[in-house]
Structure 1
Amino acid sequence: MRSPSLLARFVIGITAIELLTYFLIWPVTAILVTYMGLAVTDSVNYWAEFHAIEVVDAALVKDADGSAHIEATPALRAYQARNPNFRFAIIDNRNGAALAGSSEALARVLPSGGEIIAIRNYFRLPNDPDPKARGVLREAKPPYRMAVYGYTLHWEDLGAVMRMLADVTQIVPFLPFVVSAILISWLVTRFGLTPLYKAKEQLAGIDFKSVDQRIDGSKAPKEIAPFLDALNGALARLEDGAKRQRRFTANAAHELLTPIAILRARLDAPNEPDFLSDLDRDMRRMQSIVEQLLVLARGAERGNLAAEDVDLGALARRMIGDYLPLIVDSGRAIALDPPAAPVIVRANGQALECMVSNLINNALRAEPVGGTIELRVRAGARLEVVDHGEGVGASERDLVFEPFWRRTETTRGAGLGLSIVKELTEKQGGGVFVAETPGGGATFGLTFPDRGAP
């Protein structure tokens, strides 16, 4: 289930704030302003009259015969206990008589009626020692009027003020302001969210083929602009990944087309004397390309590889043993320059074998027939594979580690091995480099944090 829209949240929030302001913040503020003497009202006790009137009005009970009496309700007794100087009187407008229970002293000084009926009159009794004392005379339940006097403000009187404000006669004049505020907040919010609606429409038209498009945030408010900038950043990263994936797929397909074409040609001549050996070599080549593609793809998805302690010297000897038949068959040789003491590195064993294997394959393609490939393991967690071929120029030393890079179209290999070496090395906190071999050729090296001798 979706959460309410931002527009709905704003409208609900504005409405809640207005109600809170009307029923609580405004009365409390008005009371404080009156208390500080900044209001037109001469006494803070003005805000207590609503509770006093409410209590006395509830105590006026009409009888079945049309008469009325004052009932000493618990609320009235509690109010009189909180306000020792409180007095009240209820006058019958028909005869000017005060109901039993009224304050006689207060009833004597009230107007007896006549031509003018007081709807709401404020007064203070003469000779009252309290200069802030006040009273109010107003209509009660017909045909009666009431007077309350000597009330003082208490915080519990705020509830009566809020109930007075909830009266329909008070709310109706306030409604236009509420409706106007809600409408204005809706319009302003809707206008402010326009960039998001436009961004939604633009995003709806973006797919894998049009991921190069960007969201226009030039007219977005500063609160929304960072979100659109982050969204454009995500699209840029997606575009980069899409380009790499398309390039990867295209080049991988190109690299596989050649061995597949060769394989199909061999299958047309199965009676050739070297058919099985050539077929086996072609299959190994295809398998090598696929494995390299898988390693490169998995490496792009995974984080750091699981590490273990690996002896570089022992690994180099093992890799030489694996490659020796292939190297001898190719008319070349391989040699190991071992370290004086074991060199232990913290790396993933399988990944390290893949890296060294790719470096040996690269050296095998570069080494002239009759030459010798060298593996060197040095203190400081350093392994080097040396060939004596054409070498790598200074301008090409960064390019050789890019996927599918080859010096020329006739260069053997898929152009994946060295990029795999770089990626796997970096994932294990190491480094890879290429330098010139003294006398000609290239020296590729791996470096790792040294764990020292066991």
Structure 2
Amino acid sequence: MISFKSIFSRIIFLHVIALVITAIVMPVVLYYFFKWAANDLHNQAMREQAQLVAHYLGLGADGSWTLDLPPALEDIYSPAVGRYAYAVVDDTGRVLFSSSEDRSAIFAADPRSSNISYLETRRGKAAISGVSVLKEVDGHKVWVQVGEDLAHRDVIVDDIVADFFKRVGWITLPMLLSLLAIDIVIFRRALRPLLNASELAKKINPRRTDIRLPLEKMPKEILPLVQAVNQALDRLEAGFRVQREFTADAAHELRTPLTILRTRVDTLPDRGTSKALHKDIEGMARIVNQLLDIAELETFSIDPLEKADLRAICAEVAEFAAPLALAQGKDIALSGSEAAVWVNGNPEMLSRAIRNLVENAINYSPPGTTVEIVVEDSGIVRVLDEGPGIKEDERELIFQRFWRRDRRRTEGAGLGLSIVQRIADTHAATISIENRPTGGANFSLRFARIA
């Protein structure tokens, strides 16, 4: 049994089967239709011929029947022609007149028969079909029988059918194929609302829970399903909204305790312990800030008229990250374009993305190395480090929230690169990763530059 996952393919397949069956059955149906039409015409012709013979039938003064057929009519019923025959039979079954050489009746006489009876019989190998018509004169009844040898009629019918298929039948296949092509177009148009809805559904993700499937022009058979999906999306959006609000509220609430904790740590007499605790508090504060960034990005959108200078942003990030790099025995460098590189975007968000890349590079670079920020005129920002690089199978994973290569490391929560990815998506930018030939990773953010 052939199985199709596509409704469209299933409909077309079943339609093709229907057309094939039609192509097979239609000639048979047409043949029997022609046979039926020929039988109907035959019966009508036999009835008219019998009535014509009866017209020339008369009753003499002595009570005897007479039949005076014109010569042309006699020729039609001539045994030499052999196609038509007639006979006149009285109510006793006696044959009064007959065109056959043996002067016999065509059909067995039945005094109880109706005014007109359509009969069939066999005479030797010949199949005879005809009619028996009652004629009554002055109370005397006779039956006029007219019959035709079906062999002659069937030849004519077969010739008509053959001629029909020769002249008309050849266009059957092209007509069916044209019908199939038209049906394909019709089915595609009928399924267009579903295809449009599926294309729209592809855009639904945790960041775009506001999208709903359109109800307009949707087939009523599918409408309940689409409405149920939209209701499920409403519930899903509400759940994500609660989650975002909780994340933002929790991050805000944690800021104050962290500030108080930082102040109290400063009062500890043991400077070593105070310094270690300060480092832990700064790590916690960084996670809180990243959670706030995530909550803000969920509802963030770019003003189409807003512009940002990548060169200026990278210079600010380099200045901001320099103390962190120097504290770990590393250097930071800015190179590339000296002129402004303008792109459409929010300067604050772009700064967060580049800062996360730079901080990530600093954290994974060994002491004595340099983290380099390169700004290209084409709108590309590269962050180069001399760390261990990124394995091929990890290049998709590192942008997932809370993913870390080594779970045993306590610093960081695996949120930085997911924030970078979200900001890049919001700005219609792409991010790629390559390993440098000399060692280390090359993170590239590509923006569409504007004039």
TM-score by length of 2: 0.44
